């Protein structure tokens, strides 16, 4: 990645150099064109003046002299011939007749007119009739004039060099920035991926907290989700396997013990054996069902179900209605207490959570009853809600409070599998809730789930 970025920026710098060279060529060419363009303008101007010196079929030597004088000042040597080929006037003659001051000035700028060299001729016209020819050639310039042009060209080159340095420096700076912002998060991702590949799921992935997420942030999010999924899967596999082995051992040992007792003649009544074995098999079946339930709850991390806008009061009333028969059948009351409010949640999951909490409350309460309370819970992060299930039952020992959510943990006389609360906790967390428990021994227990806004 870094090498590719580096190569890409080198390529940009190379392009900048090339464009600089082409640009420089073009500018110098344009400048030369400009110089020769002005030279042409000068020639036309001299031609017009020379033509102006021909009046009424006669050359005005005074005006002609001035025209050739000016042509010399512009760096051009010239002479004029009439139609018969006779030389009317030349720069050499004009030069010889100049006053000494002017002559000196000219000597500092130009090589003197000699009449020798390659002249170009131009036809001269007056009123459409050819009157003669103007012969012209550039004089070699001395001193300051060519120097100025050189200075201009040098300046041009310096300017291009500076612009190249700025562009090249900018490209280099950008390449460093890109490397930091682009390749660093990817390097972190790669490192985390390598850790996971080695079987270490404990390392948290790189964080992408930004609100405005770019592709890399989204990639990081997906990676973190995947890493979390793998971590859960791994811990589920480890825990479940050891828990299941442990849970299976008890009924299987009892079955084996019963069969051995028959073999050894210790138990002679086959009905007792059949009853014992059958009840252990029931335990095994319910254990398998429980494992299915908890696996489903774990899997809901991947399949949350449908997020719906629901009326919480109606949802809870519906769930309570389903449990009413069992609760009231035990001689307990079931109260619900909350306002009508609309929440965004996963009703299916809420259903399973409440059913488990109500079943527990009913199972561990002998007198009094159960109350379901719910309401809004304003939080710093926004508006959340809570649901709690209270009972007037036997309560939980303080030392047990930390264990009740563990898989397969069950209290005395539970008769269950010890999976209900593990499922409640798992599902609540999957849909963004957190379970709390408060309990006073022999007075009652309250389970509260706080749902935080997304
Ligand atoms: N409302 C409650 N009052 C008193 N004790 C409770 C209450 N709810 C749970 N417990 C204690 O926590 C233990 C774990 O509960 P959990 O629901 O996980 O398992 P279970 O009810 O024993 O079995 P399962 O739900 O799998 O049929 C229970 O065995 C019980 O000791
Ligand atoms: Mg239970």
Domain coordinates of the chain in residue numbers? Answer: 219-299, 308-451
Q: How far is the CA of 151 from the centre of ligand 2 (A)?
A: 95
Q: In the structure encoding, which two tokens stand for residue 234, read together?
A: 């791994």
Of the listed ligands, the closest to the CA of 411 is 1
Does the C-beta of 390 come closer than 6 Å to ligand 1?
no
**pLDDT at position 454, please?**
62
Does the C-beta of 418 come closer than 6 Å to ligand 1?
yes
Maximum separation of any 2 CA atoms in the chain, in Å:
161
**pLDDT at position 209, please?**
56
Nearest 10 degrees: Cα torsion 78, 80, 81, 83: 130
**Following DSSP, what letter does each residue of 78-106 receive, concatenated?**
EEEEETTS-EEEEHHHHHHTS-HHHHHHH
Helix (H) or strand (E) holding 334, with range, is strand 333-337
Task: For residue range 428-439, list pLDDT tens digits in order.
Answer: 998 889 999 999
What residue's CA is closest to ligand 1, atom 19? 418
Q: In the structure encoding, which two tokens stand for residue 339, read together?
A: 């306002």
For residue 371, report the phi and psi dihedrals to the nearest 5 degrees.
-125, 135
Q: Was domain 219-299 assigned CATH 1.10.287.130?
A: yes
Q: How confident is the model at residue 146 (pLDDT cuts 50, 70, 90)?
A: low
Q: In the structure encoding, which two tokens stand for residue 362, read together?
A: 């009913």
Q: For residue 374, with 0-12 CB atoms within 10 Å meaning exposed, 13-18 middle and 19 or more buried, which class applies?
A: buried
Q: How confident is the model at residue 323 (pLDDT cuts 50, 70, 90)?
A: very high
Question: Residue holding tokens 């999951």?
Answer: 349
What's 141's DSSP letter?
B
Mean of the per-residue pLDDT values of the chain: 85
Does the C-beta of 368 come closer than 6 Å to ligand 1?
no
| Nearest atom in ligand 1 to 418's CA | 19
- For residue 369, the SS3 value is strand
Q: In the structure encoding, which two tokens stand for residue 248, read together?
A: 């299976």
**Distance between CA atoms of residues 137 and 39, nearest Å:** 11
- Is the model's pLDDT at 340 over the cut of 80? yes
Q: How far is the CA of 141 from the centre of ligand 2 (A)?
A: 109
Q: Which residues contact 163 (CB under 8 A, 6 or more apart)?
A: 20
In CATH terms, are 219-299 and 308-451 the same topology? no
Mean pLDDT for 93-110 is: 82
- CATH fit for domain 308-451, picks 3.40.50.720, 1.10.8.590, 3.30.565.10, 3.40.30.10: 3.30.565.10
What residue's CA is closest to ligand 1, atom 31? 411
**Distance between CA atoms of residues 88 and 124, nearest Å:** 13
Q: How confident is the model at residue 330 (pLDDT cuts 50, 70, 90)?
A: very high
**Distance between CA atoms of residues 151 and 23, nearest Å:** 18
Closest-CA residue to 413 (of 371, 360, 368): 360
- Is the model's pLDDT at 57 over the cut of 80? yes
Exposure string for 168-179, b = 16+ CB within 10 A, e = fewer? beebeeebeeeb
Closest-CA residue to 343 (of 306, 311, 316): 311
**Distance between CA atoms of residues 367 and 391, nearest Å:** 9
Nearest 5°: the CA angle 82, 110, 158 is: 125
Distance of CA 223 to the CA centre of its chain: 14
Residue pair 176/190 in contact (Cβ under 8 Å)? The answer is no
| Nearest atom in ligand 1 to 415's CA | 22
- The model carries a pTM of 0.58
Does the C-beta of 115 come closer than 6 Å to ligand 1?
no
Q: How far is the CA of 417 from the centre of ligand 2 (A)?
A: 8
């Amino acid at each position: 990645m870094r090498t590719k970025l580096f190569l890409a920026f080198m390529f940009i710098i190379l392009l900048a150099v090339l464009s600089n060279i082409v640009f420089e060529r073009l500018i110098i060419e344009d400048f030369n064109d400009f110089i020769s363009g002005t030279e042409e303008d000068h020639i036309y101007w001299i031609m017009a003046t020379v033509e102006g010196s021909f009046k009424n079929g006669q050359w005005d030597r005074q005006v002609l002299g001035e025209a050739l004088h000016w042509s010399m000042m512009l760096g051009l040597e010239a002479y004029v011939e009439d139609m018969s080929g006779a030389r009317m006037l030349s720069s050499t003659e004009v030069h010889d007749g100049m006053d000494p001051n002017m002559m000196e000035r000219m000597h500092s700028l130009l090589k003197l007119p000699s009449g020798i060299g390659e002249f170009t001729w131009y036809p001269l016209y007056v009123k459409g009739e050819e009157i003669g020819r103007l012969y012209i050639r550039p004089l070699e310039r001395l001193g300051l004039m060519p120097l100025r042009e050189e200075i201009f060209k040098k300046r041009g080159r310096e300017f291009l060099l500076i612009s190249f340095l700025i562009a090249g420096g900018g490209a280099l700076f950008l390449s460093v920035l890109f490397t930091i912002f682009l390749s660093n998060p990817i390097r972190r991702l790669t490192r985390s991926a390598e850790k996971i590949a080695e079987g270490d799921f404990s390392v948290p992935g790189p964080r992408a907290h930004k609100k405005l997420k770019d592709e890399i942030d989204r990639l990081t999010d997906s990676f973190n989700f995947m890493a979390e999924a793998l971590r859960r899967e791994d811990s589920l596999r480890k825990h479940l396997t050891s828990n299941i082995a442990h849970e299976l051992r008890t009924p299987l040992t009892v079955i084996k013990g019963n069969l051995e007792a028959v073999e050894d003649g210790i138990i002679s009544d086959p009905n007792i054996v059949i009853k014992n074995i059958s009840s252990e098999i029931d335990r095994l079946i319910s254990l398998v069902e429980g494992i299915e339930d908890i696996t489903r709850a774990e899997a809901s991390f991947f399949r949350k179900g449908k997020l719906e806008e629901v009326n919480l009061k109606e949802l809870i009333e519906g769930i309570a209605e389903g449990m009413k028969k069992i609760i009231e059948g035990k001689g307990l009351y079931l109260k619900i207490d909350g306002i009508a409010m609309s929440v965004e949640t996963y009703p299916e999951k809420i259903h399973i959570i409440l059913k488990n909490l109500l079943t527990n409350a009913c199972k561990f309460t002998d007198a009094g009853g159960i109350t379901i309370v719910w309401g809004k819970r304003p939080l710093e992060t926004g508006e959340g809600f809570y649901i709690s299930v209270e009972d007037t039952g036997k309560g939980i020992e303080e030392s047990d409070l930390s264990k009740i959510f563990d898989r397969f943990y069950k209290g005395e006389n539970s008769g269950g599998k010890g999976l209900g609360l593990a499922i409640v906790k798992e599902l609540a967390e999957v849909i963004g809730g957190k379970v709390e428990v408060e309990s006073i021994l022999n007075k009652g227990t309250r389970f509260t789930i706080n749902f935080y806004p997304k």
